[in-house]
Chain A
Amino acid sequence: MARIRFENVEKKYANGFHAVKDLNLDIRDKEFLVLLGPSGCGKSTTLNMIAGLEEVSDGNLLFDDELVNYTPPHKRDVAMVFQSYALYPHKTVFDNIAFGLQMRKAPRAEIETRVRDAARKLEIEHLLDRRPSQLSGGQRQRVALGRAMVRDPAVFLMDEPLSNLDAALRISMRAEIKELHQQMQTTFVYVTHDQAEALTLADRIVVMRDGVVQQIGSPDDIYERPKNTFVASFLGSPPINYIDGVIEDRNGDGVKFVRGDLMLTLPEEIAAKLRHSDRREVRLGIRAEDVDEAAQGGEGTIIRGKVNSVLPVGSDQFLGFDFYGEELFFRVSKDLSHKVGEDVALSVDLNRLHLFDKDSGQSLLW
């Protein structure tokens, strides 16, 4: 049982760097929480504060309602997997996994069974006598997982554990980590800058930027209803397209987004939200996949432009699209054949549009 709560937590370094600003976060028991953001956003610092490796400068950090601001790491019942794996280079795999138990003076027989148990689960039993330098990246990763698992901790912390692996291995390890979470039934806090990892693994995602939480929510929430342009751009591949334009509500035939010849009729649901604000200059966000062949849509849904580039990606293709001097990227079916230089019309899925305040970048749909 482990619930972790941050109350107005601040982290400032001696050199004046303000790494985490007024963090309020409630991590539920047995939850898989992913801290997502670009490097330097404070996600690793947050993780290290949970681990006890970094001190909390201000505010409260609670484990199950107990204040742990000053509790040293080994008394917090946490285990951690590091990006570099941090395996002890001179110890065998067995001793690497056993070290935490040895330090806690567990009986030898128990250490033996628990280490072998963990090794079996991770399929590294045959490697127990080797040293880290004799292992491949994937095997080292498993040893690092084993070292954390074997102690049966209340909280499992992972700091970009997959970023040193090659692409194929990363995807299979992702599945294994998810399975591990289900098996272990403990709280997982996972740091990554990889949106795909976050979307596949998380129960909830916390998006951070410059030490400030941008949005907390389920992967669907974060992807479908981003609170601001930062969150919207951080998730999605290729990234979301932005078009600056104005909102018009002329002669009663519906609220429209207008930019040059582009005129999109906004659905009632979105229009209703806009009525509350008097903002007229907005930034429209269209995710790459939210378009279709023009024939599918009616009037007020069509966007026109000139094809700049065609990038097939196997399952479908990316279309680079020149629109008033800006390059937009759309993901279209590969059945459509487009040539560079040709004019193209696509219909936009109006229900999936995102609208942001042009200056602040805040969503107008929240």
Chain B
Amino acid sequence: MAEVVHQQAGRGRLRAMFGYEERSAIVFLAPVMAVLMGVAVFPILYSFYLSFFRMKLTRPNRTPFVWFDNYTDLFTNELFWVSVTRTVVFAVTSVTSIAVVALLVALLLNQNFRGRRILSTIILIPWAIPYVANALMWKWIYDSGYGALNGVLYQLDFIDKYMVWLGDQDKTIFLIANAFVWKEVPLAAILLLVSLKSIPSDLYQAARVDGATVWQRFFHVTLPAMKPGFMLVMIYETMMAIRHFDLFFILTEGGPGDASHVLSWHIYVETFRNLSFGSGAAMSYVLALVTFALSYTFIRTLGRKV
């Protein structure tokens, strides 16, 4: 009897805290929450936990707790700093190119001309291709024996013999960036096109009456209005670029030498080739923090005057 009363009191408290709608929402959301806990929250927390251990699968029975050693060791690890430099070069090159090319594409698609709709569909194709498929395609294009790039340049007389494009330490990272840009431009262009389309035509008319030339209208009306779009593109593409893995894995495996040894590749090698899970987890956390910090900076600087 006393137990029943207690139960009722408990249920009453729950009822007081959540209304009917909230309670049914909890019921409906519970399954997906459970799945997310299993596949996202737990691994995230567990890898954070792992990052405080010296854990190497070659010595599975000796995993001492090492406090922040995995993190502090990074700063003395030469290859880690190489990978940071490579990542920065890759990210800066690709994000800049994506922003510029996407802007041009968006401006083009914002014009009225015959075949605009079909062109916008065609331009979207790279976006629909999976990263791995894109990487394999570019591997073929860059191929030293029968690649399209060699073929085209040779027939146009730009080169007098076939080149091992990805074997050139100075070019590799830029060629990979090129493949990345090709894949990312469509989405960026659509995002920019949306902000272009939202500019009222009155503003252009007012600027024309005010005597602004085409360029002045672009700098005083178009660009400022596209700021939110640019912010989104910069944040998203920077995040994509510094974490990108597929192209490096398929095209070069970090090589030649360490020419394309970026952070994500470094983490992969450390974790799955050296089987050093502790330091791999630590580096993943560094990468996540850097991504977060960059996004935050972008939002603060670009977002201030939007």
Alpha-carbon gap, A79 to B210, bound state (A): 7
* Cβ contact within 8 Å between A73 and B200: no
Stretch with Cβ within 8 A of B (4 or more), from A85-93, A308-316, A341-349: A85-93
* Cβ contact within 8 Å between A88 and B209: no
Given contacts A86-B205, A88-B220, A90-B305, contact A100 B210 (CB under 8 A): yes
Counting CB contacts under 8 A, is B203 at the interface? Answer: yes
Given contacts A100-B211, A103-B210, contact A80 B205 (CB under 8 A): yes
Counting CB contacts under 8 A, is A230 at the interface? Answer: no
Alpha-carbon gap, A74 to B203, bound state (A): 15
User: Which residues does chain A contribute within 8 Å of B209, judged by CB atoms?
Assistant: 51-53, 73-74, 78-80, 100
Closest CB in chain A relative to B195 CB, distance in Å: 12
B202-259 with Cβ < 8 A to chain A: 202-203, 205-212, 216, 220-221, 224-225, 227
* Cβ contact within 8 Å between A99 and B208: no
Counting CB contacts under 8 A, is A104 at the interface? Answer: yes
User: Which residues does chain A contribute within 8 Å of B305, judged by CB atoms?
Assistant: 90
* Cβ contact within 8 Å between B202 and A53: no
Contact with A along B146-180 (1 / 0, CB 8 A): 00000000000000000000000000000000000
User: Which residues does chain B contribute within 8 Å of A53, judged by CB atoms?
Assistant: 205, 208-209
User: Which residues does chain A contribute within 8 Å of B208, judged by CB atoms?
Assistant: 52-53, 72-74
* Cβ contact within 8 Å between A80 and B206: yes
Counting CB contacts under 8 A, is A82 at the interface? Answer: yes
User: Which residues does chain A contribute within 8 Å of B202, judged by CB atoms?
Assistant: 82-84, 86
Q: Please report whether the interface of chain B is mostly helix, strand, loop or mixed according to DSSP.
A: helix
Alpha-carbon gap, A88 to B210, bound state (A): 12
Given contacts A88-B221, A90-B225, contact A103 B216 (CB under 8 A): yes
Given contacts A53-B209, A74-B208, A80-B209, contact A86 B200 (CB under 8 A): yes
A17-67 with Cβ < 8 A to chain B: 48, 51-53
Closest CB in chain A relative to B236 CB, distance in Å: 22
Closest CB in chain A relative to B80 CB, distance in Å: 41
Give the number of residues in B that approach A within 8 Å (Cβ atoms). 18
Alpha-carbon gap, A147 to B202, bound state (A): 14
User: Which residues does chain A contribute within 8 Å of B211, judged by CB atoms?
Assistant: 73-74, 100, 103-104
Q: Residue B205 contacts which of A82, A91, A104 (CB distance < 8 angstroms)?
A: A82
Closest CB in chain B relative to A150 CB, distance in Å: 10
A93-151 with Cβ < 8 A to chain B: 99-100, 103-104, 147
User: Which residues does chain B contribute within 8 Å of A72, judged by CB atoms?
Assistant: 208
A248-281 with Cβ < 8 A to chain B: none
Q: Residue A84 contacts which of B200, B216, B220, B221 (CB distance < 8 angstroms)?
A: B200
Alpha-carbon gap, A79 to B211, bound state (A): 10
Closest CB in chain B relative to A164 CB, distance in Å: 12
Considering only CB atoms, which chain A residue lies closest to B206 in the complex? A86
Considering only CB atoms, which chain B residue lies closest to A14 in the complex? B112
* Cβ contact within 8 Å between B205 and A103: no
Alpha-carbon gap, A84 to B225, bound state (A): 16
Closest CB in chain B relative to A100 CB, distance in Å: 4
Alpha-carbon gap, A52 to B209, bound state (A): 8
* Cβ contact within 8 Å between B225 and A99: no
Closest CB in chain A relative to B131 CB, distance in Å: 36
Considering only CB atoms, which chain A residue lies closest to B210 in the complex? A100
Closest CB in chain A relative to B206 CB, distance in Å: 4
User: Which residues does chain A contribute within 8 Å of B207, judged by CB atoms?
Assistant: 88, 99
B67-102 with Cβ < 8 A to chain A: none
Alpha-carbon gap, A53 to B217, bound state (A): 14
Considering only CB atoms, which chain B residue lies closest to A84 in the complex? B202
Closest CB in chain A relative to B194 CB, distance in Å: 16
Alpha-carbon gap, A84 to B221, bound state (A): 15
Alpha-carbon gap, A86 to B210, bound state (A): 12
User: Which residues does chain B contribute within 8 Å of A104, judged by CB atoms?
Assistant: 211
Considering only CB atoms, which chain A residue lies closest to B212 in the complex? A103
* Cβ contact within 8 Å between A88 and B205: no
B135-152 with Cβ < 8 A to chain A: none
Considering only CB atoms, which chain B residue lies closest to A144 in the complex? B206
Q: Residue A99 contacts which of B210, B224, B227 (CB distance < 8 angstroms)?
A: B210
Considering only CB atoms, which chain A residue lies closest to B205 in the complex? A53
Q: Residue B203 contacts which of A48, A73, A88 (CB distance < 8 angstroms)?
A: A88
Given contacts A88-B220, A88-B221, A103-B216, contact A82 B206 (CB under 8 A): yes
Considering only CB atoms, which chain A residue lies closest to B203 in the complex? A86
User: Which residues does chain A contribute within 8 Å of B206, judged by CB atoms?
Assistant: 80, 82, 86, 88, 147
* Cβ contact within 8 Å between A89 and B225: yes
Considering only CB atoms, which chain A residue lies closest to B213 in the complex? A103
Closest CB in chain A relative to B287 CB, distance in Å: 34
Closest CB in chain A relative to B113 CB, distance in Å: 13
What would 15 more interface pairs be, CB under 8 Å, given A48-B205, A73-B208?
A73-B209, A73-B211, A74-B208, A78-B209, A80-B206, A82-B205, A83-B202, A86-B202, A86-B206, A88-B203, A90-B227, A99-B207, A99-B220, A147-B206, A147-B210
Jot down 16 A-B pairs with beta carbons below 8 A, ordered by A: A51-B209, A52-B208, A52-B209, A53-B209, A73-B209, A74-B209, A80-B205, A84-B200, A86-B203, A86-B206, A88-B220, A88-B224, A90-B224, A91-B220, A100-B209, A103-B211
Interface positions of A (Cβ within 8 A of B):
48, 51-53, 72-74, 78-80, 82-84, 86, 88-91, 99-100, 103-104, 147
Rank and list the top 8 A-B pairs by shortest CB-CB distance, nearest first: A74-B211, A86-B202, A100-B210, A86-B206, A90-B224, A103-B211, A73-B208, A80-B209
